[in-house]
Structure formats: structure tokens, C-alpha cells
Amino acid sequence: MSAMSDQIRKMFGEGDAKRDAGLKTPDDIIRYDDIRYGTDDAKLHLLDVYRPKGKEGKLPVILSVHGGGWVYGDKDVYQFYCMSLAQRGFAVVNYSYRLAPEYKFPASLEDTCSVAAWMMVNAETYGFDMEHVYGVGDSAGGHMLTIFAAALTNPDYAQELGVKLPTGFRFNAIALNCGAFRIELTAQDTTTALMGDFLPGKDPETELKLINPVEWITEDFPPAFVMTSTNDFLKAQPSILIPVLMENDIPFVYRYYSDKDVPLGHVFHCNIRLNAAKLCNDEECEFFRKY
């Protein structure tokens, strides 16, 4: 493991613990925890489902793909953010996936496919309206969600990736929050430094092509809510994605969040105590309701 991955796990872990300190499961949420979706014996193939109490029957469902630089994070880190989405009238699936460098790409994508397949099989049990499916992903999770959505809508890309996609699964719309959409190994930044841990390293040129989803987006890509903020270190990335969405006539909304009193950093929307996070998450859910 690289020193960068070690540093991210320590720094992000401390920051997330501070962010969520004192938070508890809201009284208006029912949760189903530690449901196994895969075959791994550890805590890697587990998911939670959250639903608003008093909402019977099928609900529109959100699949959340957590961030963490491809090397950090799990469902527990995202539980309070995901429950806040459920409070807005959705069922939410919050899962852990295999992380680099212990598991190289496409392990995390394979796990995402497995969760989507699990959702289809278990829709009746947990009340998922599979006619209204949405996705949220931030940072590395936004990158992975973009790859997954592009693969679902581009057979050529799916074939190149070589993963087993869930037959019949589709997103009505997705939200890409502070995401990475193009990675260049010549760049001198944190993202580039992590690629040695994330990628297998057997064929760097081919691997780099496969993890740049903007190269594979077609007109069938789902409508997208794209956002960043003033202090997001990836805030230049939407300028790479948006022209591709426009070229393919894909409906999208772009939001750039700022607050003169509170610095809004990378993935600020996960801090549900912030007014700006409430606004962002409200606007994303309203975007979903249009589709």
C-alpha cells in the first residue's frame, strides 16, 4: 500500500468521525443492517437499507456509491447521509465494497453490479420501486457511478470492462457529487498518486482508457445532477463532463455551491448539519422526482 493510501485512510477517517460525532438514527427512519449481498466472508459485501417510517408499499429507491479515494470508506461512514436521503421519501441502499489496494479495479465495480442485482431480486422484500431507480455517488464514488451508468447504457463499454452487468437494471437519473470523470496519469495530484493502488498495472494504457467514463458516454446515459463547491479540490472536473453530456443531448443540472460564512469543501453534502448540504440534497431529490 502506498503512503498516500495510508494517509487518506487516517485523514478521512478522523474527519468523518468528527463530522458525524453525536449523530443517531432518526426516529422517523427504519433501517435494515448488515445484509449480505456477496460471497466475501468479511464485512466487505454487506449493505444497509433505509426507509422512512410510515411509508408503506414500494418507494423510489436510491443506490448510494460511497467515496473515499478508492481506498477508504464503507457503509457505516455514509449511514447518516443516506438516512437523510431516506427522510426525503426514498428507500436507500447503502453498501460497502472492496477497496484498493487490497482489491484492484474492477473489484469495486463488480461489487456495484452485485448490489444492483441484489436490489432487483429483493425489490419486493424491501419495497423498492424498480421503475424509479436513482444513484448518488461522490468523489471516487461519483467516478464509479459514472462508469457503472455508462456501462449500463453502452454495450461496447460493458464488453471492454468485462463485468457481469445486472440484466434489466437502469437508472432514471443520477447525482454526481464532487466527482472525478477523467484521470490523467501525467497530472501531479492526489488522484494520480492513487492510481498505482487502484489499477492492476498490467496494461496502463488500456486500464486508463477503461477508467475514464467520459470517453464512453452515449445518448442513453441517464439524466445527471452534477455539483461541486468553492473548496472542492475536484471542482474543475464538471467542466470535463458537462460538454460530453451536452454533445449527447443528455439532460443535466449543474450546481456550484458556495457559502460566504462556511467554507464548502470536498463532499460537503455528506455533512448533514450544514445548511448548504440540506439545500444540495433537497435539490438533488427534487431533480430525481422529475424522472
Can you tell me the distance from the alpha carbon of 291 to that of 286, in angstroms, rounded to the nearest whole number? 9
The total number of structural domains that make up the chain: 1
Confidence of residue 130 (pLDDT cuts 50, 70, 90): very high
pLDDT (tens digit per residue) in 24-72: 999 999 999 999 998 766 678 999 999 999 998 999 999 999 999 999 9
Maximum distance among all Cα pairs of the chain, rounded to whole angstroms:
52
Residues near 29 by beta carbon (within 8 Å), at least 6 away in sequence:
50, 51, 52, 53, 83, 86, 87
pLDDT for 41 equals: 62
Confidence of residue 107 (pLDDT cuts 50, 70, 90): very high
30 has which bridge partners?
51
Report the CATH number at residue 226.
3.40.50.1820
Q: Which residue segment(s) compose the domain that 68 sits in?
A: 3-289
